Amino acid sequence: MRELRLFADGLRLDEAERPVAGEGEVLVRVHAAAITRGELEWPTGRLPAVPSYELSGVLAETGEEVFGLTPFDRDGVAADYAAVPAAVLAPKPARLTHVEAAALPMGGLSAWQGLFVHGRLRAGERVLITGAFGGVGHLAVQLARQAGAEVVEEGAADLLFDTVGGELPAAGRVVTIAADVVGATYFIVEPDREQLLELARLADAGELAPAIDSTYPLDRAQEAFGRVAARGKRGKVVLDVAGG
């Protein structure tokens, strides 16, 4: 099988043995794997590493369609097959394609945890979201509106949810995923099956729709990482591993 690997001098698509699921893991035939700006900087001290931490695919053993966000402290899922902790997976939303489902976990869970867990956003509150067209931001806008909050582009806000970094406007509460800034709550998104199930429910109800900026086959991953680093994206960049 093919496996994308990050080395100190860059990315390479290698042939590899199909992984064997260990204790608590399942083997997934990866159909699509989405990528995130900056993620190639994350696996320090464990190169070579497999990138991409969100996927949609099919359980090799049962054929069940699943999706999820995988832990950051181990190899990712940019490969034909990946052994994934069963606890981070949920049934794929039936309404979404594999490419769309792969685009949901990282952005959806980051937005959910930023808005509702760390940001304690309530219906009727005003929320300002920076990077509102990005992989996290576009889902945060939809989730905030869905929860009855008012999404504002400027002015006083009860909550600022920042996905860009840099200088932040003032707000009642400030939560960021982009930079550890004084006065802001910075957090790192965590896999969460219950939240993933809720995101899937919203997606199947047509109330949450991940946007696909672009898709690339696995053998053009270098270009995909070029695109994810660029400005002017609209939604997520996805590796279409199985080709459709």
Residue 82 dihedral angles phi and psi, to the nearest 5°: -140, 140
Q: Which is nearer to ligand NAP, 37 or 98 (CB)?
A: 37
**Looking at beta carbons only, is 19 or 43 nearer to ligand NAP?**
43
Rounded Cα gap, residues 223 and 214, in angstroms:
11
The residue within the footprint of ligand NAP, chosen from 133, 151, 211, 220 (CB under 6 A), is 133
Number of residues that bind ligand NAP (CB under 6 A): 20
**Rounded least distance, CB 136 to ligand NAP, Å:** 4
Whats the size of the chain, residue-wise? 244
Looking at the DSSP bridge assignments, the partners of residue 3 are: 14, 79
Q: Please tell me whether residue 4 adopts helix, strand or coil conformation.
A: strand
Letter string b/e over residues 98-121, b meaning 16 or more CB atoms within 10 A of that residue's CB: bbbbbbbbbbbbbbbbbbbbbbeb
Q: Tell me which residues in 142-181 interact with ligand NAP (CB under 6 A).
A: 163-164, 177-178
| Residue 218 CB, nearest approach to ligand NAP (Å) | 20
- The smaller minimum CB distance to ligand NAP, of residues 9 and 167, is found at 167
Give yes or no for residue 131 binding ligand NAP (CB under 6 A).
yes
Q: 19 vs 135, which CB is nearer to ligand NAP?
A: 135
